[in-house]
Amino acid sequence: MARTLLYLARHGEQDQTASDADGGLSPLGREQADRLGRRLAAVTFSQVHHSPLARAVQTTDVLARHLLRVARHPCGLVADRTPVPSAARRDQYPERWLSWLDGVPAQERDEDAAALRGAVEHFGVTGEVDRCELLVTHNFVIGWFVSQVLQTPVWRWIGLNSVNCGLTIVKWESGQSPEVVAFNDTGHL
């Protein structure tokens, strides 16, 4: 029976003083990433996939000091995205969230979660052998994965908030329903 474990980690705290909207990590963010790296050092990952945004890249760079010889690469599947309903699916979301969703910037909008659904389909599968991978990503991406594993209503990713460098683990096992092993674990912080 093959098993897939995905460790989903939110990037470290972003530097809010940076002039660039895609600023890197703050000093606290680097410390958070180092603590997460020490926590994950004993896990045998086959690879690390990270968002291409600076805060995720820099988090991964810090983690790499603890995850020796683990291949890592930028991955568009775990880029910062916000699922927003298309006009035809607005009725699937509570009214109270619609004005907030309407204000999501164009570069972050993922209509009907098409890209995020693709990410879950890509990563959330089992193969012939066990697999353990780390995804360094963003809050809403993690919330989407968890809501899909739990088979919640389409909008329920809202409010599943992960702290910076919080750790979520989801599992797929042949012949069984997927499960959330841990959500937003912060014991290392």
pLDDT digits (tens, 9 = 90+) for 34-54: 999 999 999 999 999 999 999
Percent of the chain with pLDDT over 70: 99
Q: 147-182: b or e for each residue (b if 16 or more CB lie within 10 Å)?
A: bbbeeeeebbbbebebebbbbbbbbbeeeeebeeee
Q: How far apart are CA 74 and CA 51, in angstroms?
A: 6
The one-letter amino acid at 6: L
Please name each of the domains of the chain with its CATH number: 3-185 (3.40.50.1240)
pLDDT at 189: 95
pLDDT at residue 21 tops 80:
no
**pLDDT on residue 1:** 75
Mean pLDDT of the chain: 95
pLDDT tens readout for residues 69-107: 999 999 999 999 999 999 999 999 999 999 999 999 999
The residue-averaged pLDDT of 155-179 equals 96
Mean pLDDT of 55-70: 97
Distance CA 124, CA 26 (A): 32
Q: What are phi and psi of 122, to 5 degrees?
A: -70, -50
By DSSP bridging, strand 167-173 and strand 131-137 are unpaired
